[in-house]
């Protein structure tokens, strides 16, 4: 009896202790509760000052971007929503996080963000190149590598993917996006978001994505960065918003507001885009972060008279977090007290930011395990993904007399400013990548081809020093084939890197002209972050291979293609104009009132040099007849279009079937053709594959009006595959 009494006493005491302990842990720290409950509880404990702190982002670490330049920073408050983290490993970040967790009243973890645009340390091809792979799964694999390396360095949030549609290659930031087409970019947008974030943000190696730059930044006038854009509501909806909507539907946790003025209302103070469209129409429950200093720039843009007014416009328009300029920190409290910013708006923004922190599991796992480099960066499996991404993104533009692939035993002269270069193959925004990680074309080729490669630089990227020409011609004369590596330096594209012409500097064109005189077949390799004006290059070369800025495995991938180990399968995702003067030139333009021979340029052809979707292979693909399961149907029906493609050459290859539709007459006129679906498949030599496109009329044939409403009109449509055009009719 005594014993039972004693045991019950112990049990009762234990239960009370447990209950007490539970009581002392506030609900927001209890992971068994829902995120919503935890956010409500935490916010009920926060002062206005603590709330506002969550809406600010500072930087931590040394940053070299001229526009972002900052050292770290002792003045960083421990109570802060987020930091842009410029670090190679997690140590500095953990030290800062400790301050937030242990030295602040509520212990709210900091969210660490960084521009992991095409890799963290394992730099893979620039996004423009990835788009040219037409392989969103592969882009996703690359994003997974980036997420893993970033996560291990303490980053929870990447400012990627950049899904701006760009049709003016003078704009240097064309390099950062997936090209000119809304559909292709939408597919890559969704694939990147899913790859970065995984199914559950709280799991290791999943990081939050950020769709940017919301919205219309790519429409920058004359290709100049940061300048205003003129975008009608119609164009906003049919061209610039779809890639963002696709990313939001894929679950993107955040978006970044853009620098550009959108027809009078800057992106970072635009209530229509950030609140009415994003949050109300699409129901986005994440948050919008400003681009760097975008809030204070509202003053320069001629909207706000000072920083305080800028903060007011931005937050009231729906911009939740201020990047770097500290204007929310400085002015929001006063703005709320003066009744100029509703408290509900502040609460809404704070709720959004805290929700992401809970979803990421930061309250439970605020710190990052500090691992040695050899366990987290440049891992063999990551390099393998980077190599495949480089291989699949390269586009063979020309191949006269089958100069490529190179034949075994051929003596190769490797010439040009990019031949032994490592740094410029990285491209812009290379995270924490390093030039020494990059396999140069020279190294890749000498290792892969197993034959001696003779080399001469010939000239630099620009300038007028021709003193190296003669040596280059000598080297060319002694070879069987010349591989001439031309292109751009990495800083010629990316942010704040516009060019008035997209031709290469004339010194490079002149080098080509000299080399041609040696009378040997010339293969031109192009490494660049935009489409180029090849008027004087393409006709002079026997073969042209666009390698973009291919990242660390670039040289090895080039060797794989040149030697024929890999059959090129990239296709252009941007139009290559005939000359810069054709810009803007893109495939999905609307029809002219006078077709045929009128309205054309008098001095140059009016068609581009290489069109969207173009790209050669070492094999040949024969397309059978495109068939449809029904040529008359209703809006509720689904019809299937099919085409069988045969690899009639001698090399295995990957072919991408591109399905376009055309609606020739519509109450809102539509582009001449619109990409609606694509699929890339390996077809072994001699084999065939039947590609299918199931058409859902509302999804694939409808159009959108300037209010964002989709409509579907009865009548004739065409399915276009290569040079075939098949009529289908949507019945009344």
Verify binding: residue 546, ligand NOJ, rule CB under 6 A: no
Token pair for residue 428?
A: 């812009």
Residues 52-81 within binding reach of ligand NOJ (CB under 6 A): 68
Q: Which is nearer to ligand NOJ, 41 or 70 (CB)?
A: 70
- Name the β-bridge partners of 727: 718
DSSP state, 279?
A: I
Query: Which member of 196, 214, 237, 292 binds ligand NOJ (CB under 6 A)?
Result: 292
| Residue nearest to ligand NOJ as judged by C-beta position | 159
Among 164, 291, 448, 700, binds ligand NOJ (CB under 6 A): 291
Please, which residue, 325 or 495, has the CB nearer to ligand NOJ? 495
**Between residue 471 and residue 530, which ones bind ligand NOJ under the rule CB under 6 A?**
495
d(CA 651, CA 434): 35
**Which residue, 242 or 431, has its beta carbon nearer to ligand NOJ?**
431
Strands 287-289 and 254-257 come out as: parallel
Which lies closer to ligand NOJ via its Cβ, residue 87 or residue 613?
87
Q: How far is the CB of 149 from ligand NOJ (least distance, A)?
A: 18
Q: How far apart are CA 418 and CA 435, in angstroms?
A: 13
- In this structure, are residues 466 and 400 in contact, taking their beta carbons and an 8 Å threshold? no
Residue of 115, 152, 238, 291 marked catalytic: 291
For 493-527, give the DSSP string.
SSTT---S--BPPHHHHHHHHHHHTT-S-EEEEEE
Nearer to ligand NOJ, 210 or 537 (CB): 210
**Whole-angstrom Cα distance, residue 416 to residue 195?**
37
Cα–Cα distance, 80 to 296 (Å, whole number) = 19
Closest of 558, 429, 440 to residue 490, by C-alpha: 429
Query: Is 291 known to be catalytic?
Result: yes
SS (H, E, C) 664-715: CCCCCCCCCCEEEEEEEEEECCCCEEEEEEEECHHHHCCEECCCCCEECCCE
Q: Please work out, in degrees rounded to the nearest 5, the angle formed at the alpha carbon of residue 14 by the alpha carbons of 13 and 17.
A: 85
Give least dist CB 68 to ligand NOJ, A. 5
CB 501, min distance to ligand NOJ, A: 24
> To the nearest whole angstrom, how small is the minimum distance from the Cβ of residue 530 to ligand NOJ?
17
**542 is a site residue for ligand NOJ (CB under 6 A):** no
Q: For ligand NOJ, give the closer residue by CB, 258 or 575.
A: 258
Distance CA(89)–CA(33), nearest Å, equals 32
Tell me: does residue 159 bind ligand NOJ (CB under 6 A).
yes
The residue length of the chain stands at 732
Please, what is the minimum distance in Å from the beta carbon of residue 495 to ligand NOJ? 5
Contacts 24+ apart (CB under 8 A), 407-411: 408/451, 409/451, 410/451, 410/479, 410/480, 410/481, 411/451, 411/452, 411/454, 411/478, 411/479, 411/480, 411/481
CB of 373 to ligand NOJ, least distance (A): 24
The answer to whether 491 touches 462, Cβ cutoff 8 Å, is no
DSSP string of 63-99? B--TTT-B---TT--SS-SEEEEE-SSSHHHHHHHHH
Which residue from 464, 527, 529 is spatially nearest to 497, judged by alpha carbons?
529
Q: Which is nearer to ligand NOJ, 495 or 663 (CB)?
A: 495
**Distance in Å, CB of 702 to ligand NOJ, minimum:** 32
**Distance in angstroms (rounded) separating the CA atoms of residues 622 and 627:** 15
What percent of the residues of the chain are helix, what percent strand, and what percent coil, each to the nearest 5? 35, 20, 45
- C-beta separation of 449 from 412 below 8 A: yes
The pairing of strands 621-623 and 639-647 is: antiparallel
Choice from 51, 118, 167, 212 touching ligand NOJ (CB under 6 A)? 212
Q: Which lies closer to ligand NOJ via its Cβ, residue 356 or residue 481?
A: 356
Q: Taking the complex as a whole, how short is the minimal distance between the CB of residue 325 and ligand NOJ, in angstroms?
A: 12
Count of residues touching ligand NOJ (by CB under 6 A): 7
Smallest gap from Cβ 59 to ligand NOJ, in A, equals 9
Lookup: tokens for 494: 């990316």
CA distances from 602 to 502, 594, 597, 598 (A): 21, 16, 11, 10
> Is 496 or 702 the residue whose CB approaches ligand NOJ more closely?
496
Residue 230: CB minimum distance to ligand NOJ, A: 20
Choosing from 79, 115, 448, 700, the residue that interacts with ligand NOJ (CB under 6 A) is 115
Nearer to ligand NOJ (CB atom), residue 115 or residue 663: 115
| Active-site residue set | 291
Q: Where on the chain is the footprint of ligand NOJ (CB under 6 A)?
A: 68, 115, 159, 212, 291-292, 495
């Amino acid at each position: 009896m005594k014993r039972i009494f004693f045991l019950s006493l112990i049990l009762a005491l234990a239960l009370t202790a447990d209950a007490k302990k539970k009581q002392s842990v506030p609900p927001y720290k209890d992971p068994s509760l829902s995120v919503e409950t935890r956010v409500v509880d935490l916010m009920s404990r926060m002062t206005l000052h603590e709330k506002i702190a969550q809406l600010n982002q500072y930087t931590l670490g040394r940053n070299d971007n001229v526009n972002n330049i900052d050292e770290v920073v002792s003045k960083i408050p421990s109570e802060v929503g987020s930091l842009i983290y410029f670090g190679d490993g997690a140590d500095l970040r953990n030290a800062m996080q400790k301050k937030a967790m242990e030295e602040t009243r509520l212990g709210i973890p900091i969210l660490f963000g960084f521009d992991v645009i095409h890799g963290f340390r394992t730099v893979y091809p620039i996004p423009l190149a990835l788009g040219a792979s037409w392989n969103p799964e592969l882009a996703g694999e690359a994003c997974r590598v980036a997420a893993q390396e970033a996560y291990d360095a303490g980053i929870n949030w990447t400012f990627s993917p950049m899904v701006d549609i760009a049709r003016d290659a003078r704009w240097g930031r064309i390099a950062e996006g997936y090209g000119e087409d809304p559909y292709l970019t939408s597919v890559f947008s969704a694939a990147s978001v899913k790859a970065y974030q995984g199914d559950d943000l709280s799991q290791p190696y999943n990081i939050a994505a950020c769709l940017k730059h919301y919205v219309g930044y790519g429409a920058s006038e004359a290709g100049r960065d940061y300048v205003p854009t003129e975008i009608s509501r119609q164009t906003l909806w049919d061209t610039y918003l779809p890639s963002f909507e696709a990313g939001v539907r894929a679950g993107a946790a955040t978006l970044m507001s853009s620098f550009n003025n959108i027809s009078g209302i800057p992106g970072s103070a635009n209530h229509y885009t950030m609140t009415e469209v994003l949050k109300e129409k699409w129901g986005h429950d994440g948050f919008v972060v400003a681009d760097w200093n975008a809030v204070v720039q509202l003053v320069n843009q001629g909207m706000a008279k000072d920083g305080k007014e800028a903060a007011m416009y931005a937050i009231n328009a729906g911009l939740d977090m201020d990047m770097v300029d500290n204007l929310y920190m400085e002015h929001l409290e006063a703005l709320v007290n003066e009744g100029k910013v509703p408290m509900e708006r502040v609460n809404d923004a704070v709720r959004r930011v805290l929700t992401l922190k809970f979803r990421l599991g930061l309250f439970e796992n605020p710190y990052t395990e500090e691992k040695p480099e050899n366990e987290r960066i440049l891992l063999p499996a990551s390099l393998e993904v980077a190599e495949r991404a480089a291989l699949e993104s390269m586009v063979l533009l020309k191949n006269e007399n089958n100069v490529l692939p190179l034949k075994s035993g051929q003596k190769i002269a490797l010439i040009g400013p990019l031949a032994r270069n490592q740094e410029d193959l990285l491209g812009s925004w290379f995270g924490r990548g390093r030039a020494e990680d990059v396999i140069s074309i020279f190294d890749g080729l000498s290792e892969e081809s197993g034959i001696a490669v003779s080399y001469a630089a010939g000239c630099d990227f620009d300038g007028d020093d021709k003193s190296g020409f003669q040596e280059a011609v000598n080297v060319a004369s002694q070879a069987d084939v010349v591989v001439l590596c031309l292109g751009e330096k990495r800083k010629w594209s990316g942010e704040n890197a516009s060019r008035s012409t997209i031709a290469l500097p004339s010194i490079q064109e002149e080098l080509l002209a000299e080399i041609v005189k040696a009378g040997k077949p010339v293969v031109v390799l192009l490494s660049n972050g935009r489409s180029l004006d090849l008027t004087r290059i393409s006709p002079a070369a026997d073969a042209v291979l666009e390698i973009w800025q291919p990242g660390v495995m670039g040289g090895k991938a080039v060797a794989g293609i040149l030697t024929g180990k890999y059959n090129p399968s990239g296709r252009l995702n941007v139009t290559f104009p005939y000359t810069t003067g054709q810009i803007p030139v893109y495939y999905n333009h609307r029809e002219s009132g006078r077709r045929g021979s009128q309205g054309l340029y008098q001095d140059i052809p009016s068609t581009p040099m290489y069109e969207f979707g173009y790209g050669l292979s070492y094999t040949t693909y024969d397309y059978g007849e495109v068939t449809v399961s029904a040529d008359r149907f209703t809006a509720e029906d689904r019809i299937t279009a099919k085409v069988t493609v045969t690899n009639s050459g001698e090399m295995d290859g990957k072919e991408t079937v591109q399905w376009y539709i055309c609606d020739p007459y519509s109450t809102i006129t539509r582009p001449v053709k619109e990409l609606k679906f694509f699929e890339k498949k390996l077809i072994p030599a001699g084999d065939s594959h039947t590609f299918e496109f199931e058409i859902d009329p509302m999804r694939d044939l409808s159009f959108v009006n300037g209010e964002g409403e989709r409509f579907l009109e009865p009548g004739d449509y065409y399915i276009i595959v290569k040079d075939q055009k098949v009529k289908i009719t949507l019945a009344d």
